Amino acid sequence: MARLAQWLLLETLLLNQRNHSIKTLKQSLGSSGRLDAEFYQEKYERAEAQLKKHGFVLLEDICSHINYGSVPTSPYCGRDEGIPYIKGLNLKNLSISGRLDCIKDTQKLASKFFTQKNDIIISQMGTVGDVGVVSQEQEGYIFASFTIRVRLKDPHFNPFYIALYIQDIAKNWYLQRHIAQASVRQNTDLPTIRKLYIPKIPTPIQENIAKHLQNSFTLRAQAKEALERAKMQLEHALNLGGGGETFV
DSSP 89: G
Mean pLDDT, the chain, whole residue set: 85
For 96-154, what is each residue's pLDDT tens digit? Answer: 999 999 999 999 999 999 999 999 999 998 889 999 999 999 999 999 999 999 999 99
pLDDT given at position 42: 79
pLDDT given at position 59: 98
Mean pLDDT to the nearest integer, 184-205 = 91
Q: Record the pTM.
A: 0.80
CA distance 192 to 194: 6
- Residue 57 has a CB neighbour count (10 Å cut-off) of 15
Please report the domains of the chain, with CATH numbers, ordered by start residue.
36-200 (3.90.220.20)
- Residue 64 has a CB neighbour count (10 Å cut-off) of 9
Angle at Cα 185 formed by Cα 179 and Cα 190, nearest 5°?
45
Closest CA to 192 of 88, 66, 92: 66
pLDDT given at position 247: 42
Helix (H) or strand (E) holding 84: strand 83-86
